[in-house]
Chains A and B, each alone.
Chain A
Amino acid sequence: MQRDVYDEDHEAFREVVKEFIKRYATPEKAKQWDADGEVDRDTMQAAAEHGIVGLSVPEEYGGAGMLHDFRFRCVAIEEILRPGHAAALAGGVGIQDDLAVPYLVHFGTDEQKQKWLPKMATCEVLGALAMTEPGAGSDLRSARTTAKKVDGGYVVNGSKIFISSGKTADLVVTFVKTGEGNRPDDFSLLLIEDGMEGFVHDKKLVKMGSHGHDTAELNFTDVFVPDENLIGGTPGQGFVQLMKNLPLERLSIGAVAAAVSEAALEWTLEYTTSRQAFGQPVSAFQNTRFRLADMATTVDVLWAYIDRAMTLYGKGELTADEAAKVKYWCTDREWEVLDQAVQLHGGYGYMMEYPITRAFVDARVHRIYGGTNEVMREIVARSLTGRK
């Protein structure tokens, strides 16, 4: 179904992203990312030069100033994911633009913005967001990483786990406990820098999928973080700050789910129309035809939903509850589409050299991270009936 959220600028930008993938993010390079477990910095910086990452950094700091308009981000997501080999890049770009930069743009002090945003626009500085801990995932208030107030700053102790871009990050927006209890105002966000004494973040985790994008464990042992690195400058704002960016984070995952579903449909069409079985293309069998029809319809509905959510987000009207619906519904549909797509690929759908196989294992985490889909449903339920 024809989408109507994009104008000629978005379509021109689409060509930029396509050309960038062709020249800078080749399948050969993606193999290297898989081997290294991370996307190389040169590619990230080249992506920044072309404006493919840094979209959410305000213009005065060298970015595109599009934090409030997700459409360019969505075009980048679509075109990075379409060929199937460059998903790791989509991961790195998404963390920078949707999870790290927004905290500085929304809540950073002028000094923090001036110090970090220009470098984040060029990817000289890569960011990450660290919330999850070994004993605290969806249940964030159980976080035990402490930041004890001392003269001139904070001393941080604890650990974070499953942090996307955690190894390559130069600057980690870290959720820490600055108070004594577990009330919302006992938490803050600190900017913890690579190289700070006692901060170790080189333990790369081995995952089921997303092999080319680093996910790390972060350890903090008596890390001194100066006052100037407290996001916003006032302690106790951590929870409120996290809440503000939730719609974007959830929308971002939903958009990835829609883009992967669309790409999977394209790969499956190509495979089933060229693969022969019993003397005819696989696409001539009724089962295949019905499944393809289901997948195509799902993709249309996914985009209709994402496009509506993008429009609301652009007007500042997408609520965290609505974004939770988008996140869980789109990733659940994505999973169904991918499962069908793998099935239609037969044995080839189980081979890692096929994009559908990679997409399948990569996507499994979409229903887990960014708040599990179960927690998303609970959030939606709360918006309907309160806590009971």
Chain B
Amino acid sequence: MKIVVLMKEVPNTYGERTLSLETGLAERATSDNVLDEVTERAMEVALAYADAHEGTQVHALTVAPEGATTSVRKCLAMGAEAATHVVDDGLVGADLGLTAEVIAAALGRIGFDLVVAGNQSTDGMGGVLPAMVAELLGVPHLTNLSEVTIAEPEVAGTRVSDDADVQVSATLPAVVSVTDALPEARFPNFKGIMAAKKKPLDVLSLDDLGIDAEDMTASRTIMLAIDQRPPRTAGVKITDSGDAGTQLAGFLAENQLI
């Protein structure tokens, strides 16, 4: 069984996060970059299964800038056997479609029985990438799982939504994405850090994967312009002198809210 976990490096969710007004991209230089917590939980799903099932291979895959090596190494230190890091200047500002193509191509190269991802990142918050990857690979996807059971030849789990919890299952190979309801991930130890240095870390470019980021026949989302959010203006204050109700109704009518 080979499980590939999609890992993402993000600006620290609990720190200051800003967008560059020149590029429209997240400012990575000024923030503390960490592995997105939900992807760590995805990794935990894979590692927990590997702990209980000898012969399971866990592989970390990430698409990230060059500086993300520390995060990739952390995946290896946590217990993944190998990692693939796709890094290419052509991927700066890549939209979900291009990112999904890259991930699908890399997965094709690595090989997999199961792909585990986080449900959505804390920076881009797209939330559709796992489904797009599954679509491109032609395998089933079970997304937004709050609980996962891997039992070859199947993967199953509980998909949470606002209205209902749905029990879902699929035959492997498949893609699943998990929510932060999954257990907190383990963190590396000293031996893990040392062992990580000896584990294979494959760095791939777009050329290696045979993907053209500038392919104009594909649908792409690009950023055209970015502006600072206008500062908040003071709201209307109504002091009740017996006619507050009328004034409120007037305000709502004026703004076409009633």
- Write the residues of chain A forming the contact surface with B, with a CB cutoff of 8 angstroms: 8-9, 11-13, 15-16, 19-20, 23, 49-52, 55, 64, 72
Contacts and interface: CB of A to CB of B under 8 A. Distances in A.
A248 to B, nearest CB: 19
Contacts of B188: 12, 15-16
A249 B23 CA distance: 53
Nearest to A72: B190
B41 interface: no
Nearest to A65: B194
Nearest to A22: B187
B18 interface: no
Nearest to B74: A12
Contacts, number: 38
Interface string B170-193: 000000000000000001111101
Q: How large is the interface on B (under 10, 10 to 19, 20 to 34, 35 or more residues)?
A: 10 to 19
B191 A9 contact: no
Nearest to B194: A9
B191 A51 contact: yes
B167 interface: no
Contacts of A16: 187-190, 193
B187 A52 contact: no
Nearest to A20: B187
Nearest to A55: B190
A13 B187 contact: no
B70 interface: yes
Which of A11, A12, A55, A64 has the most chain B CB atoms inside 10 A of its CB? A12
Nearest to A18: B187
Contacts of A52: 190
B197 interface: yes
A13 B70 contact: no
A51 B189 contact: yes
B58 interface: no
B145 interface: no
Contacts of A8: 70, 73
22 contacts: A8-B70, A12-B73, A12-B74, A12-B188, A12-B193, A13-B190, A15-B74, A15-B187, A15-B188, A16-B187, A16-B188, A16-B190, A16-B193, A19-B187, A49-B189, A50-B187, A50-B189, A51-B189, A51-B190, A52-B190, A64-B191, A64-B194
B116 to A, nearest CB: 22
Contacts of A72: 190
Contacts of A50: 187, 189-190
Contacts of B74: 12, 15
Given A9-B194, A72-B190, 8 more contacts: A8-B73, A12-B73, A12-B74, A15-B187, A16-B193, A49-B189, A51-B190, A51-B191
A12 B70 contact: yes
A191 B252 CA distance: 83
- For the complex, would chain B's binding face be called helix, strand, loop or mixed by DSSP majority? helix
A12 B77 contact: yes
Contacts of A49: 189
A9 B189 contact: no
| In the A-B complex, the 10 residue pairs with the closest CB atoms | A51-B190, A50-B189, A19-B187, A51-B189, A12-B193, A64-B190, A16-B188, A51-B191, A9-B193, A13-B193
Interface in B152-210: 187-191, 193-194, 197
Nearest to B191: A51
Contacts of A15: 74, 187-188
Which of B73, B188, B189, B197 has the most chain A CB atoms inside 10 A of its CB? B189
Contacts of B194: 9, 64
A49 B192 CA distance: 11
Nearest to A49: B189
Which of A23, A50, A55 has the most chain B CB atoms inside 10 A of its CB? A50
Contacts of A12: 70, 73-74, 77, 188, 193
A49 B194 CA distance: 14
Contacts of A9: 193-194, 197
B99 to A, nearest CB: 27
Contacts of A20: 187
A19 B189 CA distance: 10
A72 B74 CA distance: 17
Contacts of B187: 15-16, 19-20, 23, 50
A152 B93 CA distance: 76
Contacts of B193: 9, 12-13, 16
Contacts of B197: 9
Nearest to B73: A12
A49 B189 CA distance: 7
A11 B74 CA distance: 11
Contacts of B189: 16, 49-51
Interface string B17-28: 000000000000
Contacts of B73: 8, 12
A50 B187 CA distance: 9
Nearest to B188: A16
Interface string B25-45: 000000000000000000000
Nearest to A52: B190
A358 B197 CA distance: 39
B23 to A, nearest CB: 28
B185 to A, nearest CB: 10
A13 B73 CA distance: 12
Nearest to B190: A51
A50 B188 CA distance: 7
Contacts of B70: 8, 11-12
Which of A16, A52, A64 has the most chain B CB atoms inside 10 A of its CB? A16
